[in-house]
Structure 1
């Protein structure tokens, strides 16, 4: 198909007469595999406009986009071929460039959302973005939001977004918290009103309260998980001895905990219980320990402490739950740099712990 498309690009770029309606129809059916009925819809749309696919291809190529980029976009959104360069393509692309998307980043973004180059951007997406701008989303959060949700295919998106924002604000999710939930999980804004209310009710039933700063984080987590996944993680905690009350207590303290993969949770439980010898209540009190990187933070620090204990550099085992939460600078200063006689060995163990004989 890539070769066919390359020939097509060359043909319509070099011969205005070849960019006829029949050429477009043939390309849509034979090269891109559209059913004849669907291709005819685009054929009729083209025949009733003065747009020129040749100018579209020429414009996109002038911006540095490759033939494969253009092929991907047209395959997903054929109406791009019929877009008006001056009225539609240029302002749409300029909008994303002004947000900070340039060159390859812009190409990757459009490849995932080619419909943003069509006239539906102006008709349906821009009104949604105008609503979001009133929340003072900066460019970075705006880009993140656009990447995570395609709103142009949602029925009546502006009213739905406006109503859902109002409902979230009534729940106490305002200001920076509202920006956080929108940029992380913008699909919340296009859920049906009843569906969003049910989701918030589910979170409230778990013990969170309106106006709590944790509510937004819990809502984000629950919206990311299916009921089956949530139940499976609950059963995982129970298999390691946690009660239902302890599980929900840990979730309330660290709502992001349930976004941790099951494999990482299992490794964490095994390491903390069998190697560090934590009592279960340590994790109940500080569940965020399970969110730390074992490979990059927890295990290397434990190896350093273990070596120090074996060499009697330390006479008493420090509370490891506190050691884990020291900043990098604090840990290096307190446990490595000040022990000049062993600093090199300890640093090597810290950086390459798996290769060091601790004894």
Structure 2
């Protein structure tokens, strides 16, 4: 028997149609099945309205044999009580499906891909539609298409993440959106590793209507990206996740520092993720580079990628080290800060801290003091 403890779970919009299909029955006289209704209320924390709608749909059932068999099978497959409860509340029909004909083939299919145990539980909770979608007409062909796109995904790790993030991508006829959208992206020059990257970064784009995709491409081009550039796909990811209003808010932040709309677009092309960076982080980063590091505006435009790095964890600690180096005159030529920020942690430490044996302690203090301060002040994290 399932425990009374439940996992708080908000169904994704695409799942709501399953619940609403049951709830719509409330508009007509309903004859609840008291056995089913009581079971859903006590063991799955359905509310009264949902339990009434679902039990009415299965008024013909005389026992709990079918839902009990589904629960037993899912537990044997490694799902926890809370995962089963969440799944049932999202897609109630799962409880009344045949284990042998509906549930088991899907579970064995994913286990065959290497998705089992805790991973299988996570997948089903986040994407319960996989248990009711057609195996032959949807799951198998869609997964085959995705695996052809994903490069070097031998353990299906990328596939697993995509299925968890996008509950529609394998639960629809591949000819409806998936294949046409792939063809559309390829017509834009997004092929091979770039198509795989787009799928990993933004799988929802593969199940959007063509009109939406065309608008995203148009927006990306308007920022100065070109379809011939390898950065085009990165711009597409950013444009696809941000509304026009949100992008305009970022543009206004740049303008407040005297950076023109044209220069702003140049910066987006160099560092597309700036479109997704919070306004607060952008404002603080721009202010630091222009007013503390004393960058010229033109240099910051050229080096826009510097703005994506964490001020607290990377930029400020390295700046503090350079200030000590300059004050001690440890180098004949002052290091170029833009190049210094791009170094890996190991490269930076070896080149600008540990090489100065007589000053290591002071340099480490400058380097780590700000890190310690920021890590103890989570509420002010800039990342």
Scaled to the shorter chain, the TM-score interval is 0.7 to 0.9
Task: Show the counterpart of 1:39.
Answer: 54
**Aligned match for 1:75, one of 80, 83, 89:** 89
The 1:47–1:128 alpha-carbon spacing in structure 2 relative to 1, beyond 3 Å, is: farther
1:272-291 aligned at under 5 Å gives the runs 272-291=289-308
| 1:122 positional shift | 5.2
Report the TM-score when normalising by structure 2. Answer: 0.80
The 1:136–1:289 alpha-carbon spacing in structure 2 relative to 1, beyond 3 Å, is: closer
- Once residues 152 and 243 of structure 1 are traced to their aligned partners in structure 2, the CA distance between those partners, rounded to angstroms, is 40
Unaligned 5+ runs, structure 2: 7-31, 374-383
The 1:64–1:163 alpha-carbon spacing in structure 2 relative to 1, beyond 3 Å, is: closer
Unaligned 5+ runs, structure 1: 6-19
The 1:35–1:342 alpha-carbon spacing in structure 2 relative to 1, beyond 3 Å, is: closer
Task: Tell me if the contact between 1:89 and 1:118 (Cα under 8 Å) persists in the aligned partners.
Answer: yes
Task: Tell me if the contact between 2:133 and 2:139 (Cα under 8 Å) persists in the aligned partners.
Answer: no
Task: Show the counterpart of 1:162.
Answer: 179
1:74-113 aligned at under 5 Å gives the runs 74-113=88-127
- Once residues 207 and 252 of structure 1 are traced to their aligned partners in structure 2, the CA distance between those partners, rounded to angstroms, is 7
1:179 corresponds to 2:179: no
1:298 corresponds to 2:315: yes
| 1:113 positional shift | 1.6
- Once residues 292 and 285 of structure 1 are traced to their aligned partners in structure 2, the CA distance between those partners, rounded to angstroms, is 15
**Aligned match for 1:118, one of 132, 135, 139:** 132
Task: Tell me if the contact between 2:274 and 2:307 (Cα under 8 Å) persists in the aligned partners.
Answer: yes
Task: Show the counterpart of 2:252.
Answer: 235
The 1:284–1:329 alpha-carbon spacing in structure 2 relative to 1, beyond 3 Å, is: same
Task: Tell me if the contact between 1:297 and 1:324 (Cα under 8 Å) persists in the aligned partners.
Answer: yes
Q: Counterpart of 1:324 in 2: which secondary structure?
A: helix
- Once residues 75 and 228 of structure 1 are traced to their aligned partners in structure 2, the CA distance between those partners, rounded to angstroms, is 35
- Once residues 372 and 76 of structure 2 are traced to their aligned partners in structure 1, the CA distance between those partners, rounded to angstroms, is 53
| 1:156 positional shift | 4.8
1:24 corresponds to 2:36: yes
Coordinate RMSD, CA, aligned: 3.0
- Once residues 355 and 149 of structure 1 are traced to their aligned partners in structure 2, the CA distance between those partners, rounded to angstroms, is 38
Task: Show the counterpart of 1:271.
Answer: 288
The 1:166–1:328 alpha-carbon spacing in structure 2 relative to 1, beyond 3 Å, is: same
The 1:136–1:327 alpha-carbon spacing in structure 2 relative to 1, beyond 3 Å, is: closer
